[in-house]
Structure 1
Amino acid sequence: MTYALISLPFLAIGVLAAVITARSLPRPARRRRWIATAIAAAVLLALTGVFDTVMIAAGLFGYADGTRLGPTVGLAPIEDFAYPTVAALLVPAVWTIVRRRAQRGGDDED
């Protein structure tokens, strides 16, 4: 099994959660959400590229040749970038869900 196949379900869940929670927001908030998500993803991907390359070069870990797709950024295989992408998608989605539940719960507790 390749690292890409392992990452696919997580990416699918992240995209689905991000789209569903963003669609429930008013249009201006939805636009801000996607802009903030894109900025967060760019930062996380850049950091992943730098730090994974350093850690792989230092010999802290590696990847078996038969389990990678092939393309790399620095020394990091592209599959390494799935998890920060999922984090950038899921954190705002979970935040929206938790905030909504807290608001509903706050109204009920009076």
Structure 2
Amino acid sequence: MTYHELNAVFLTVAAVVAALAVVRVLVAGAGRRARVAGAAAVTAVVLLALTAIFDNLMIAAGLFSYAPHTLSGLHVGLAPIEDFAYPVAAALVLPGLWILLGGRRQRP
């Protein structure tokens, strides 16, 4: 199994969760939409930046490596682009689950 196939599974699940959350937010109203979208965008940027930094450091330190035939060949520094699917999935799934499971309730 290549990283692309593995990433496809994670990203598909993440996309379904995010889509369900978007539907719920659309029903909730405009005020919540902006807050949720902003929080998800900030989360994605932070996770992608941290992944870029720490994956490059760990690969440079020799903590792990990848079989070249499982990668696309695209890299951000030393980190293969495939490593960035997990933070994208997390940025979709975690806020999505928070919304779908009720999150923090607002006081009246």
What TM-score, normalized to structure 1? Answer: 0.85
Q: Deviations over 1:89-108 (max 9, x none)?
A: 111111112227x97xxxxx
Report which of the two has the higher share of helix: 1
Which structure would you say has the larger Rg?
1
Question: How many pairs are equivalent?
Answer: 102
Question: Which residue number corresponds to residue 7 of structure 1?
Answer: 7
% identity of equivalent residues: 46
| Equivalent residue, structure 2, for 1:30 | 33
Partner of 2:57: 54
Please list every run of 5 or more consecutive structure 2 residues that lacks an aligned counterpart in the other structure.
none
Aligned to 1:20: 20
Instruction: State the alpha-carbon separation in 2 of the partners of residues 81 and 58 from structure 1.
Output: 19
Aligned amino acid, residue 53 of structure 2: V
Q: Separation in 2 of the partners of 1:13 and 1:32?
A: 23
- The farther-off stretch of 6-15 and 19-28 is 19-28
Match of 1:96 in 2: 99
C-alpha deviation, 1:31, in angstroms: 2.6
Shift of 1:53: 0.4
Structure 1's unaligned 5+ residue stretches are 104-110
Query: Given that residues 37 and 89 in structure 1 are in contact (C-alpha distance below 8 angstroms), is that contact kept between their aligned partners in structure 2?
Result: yes
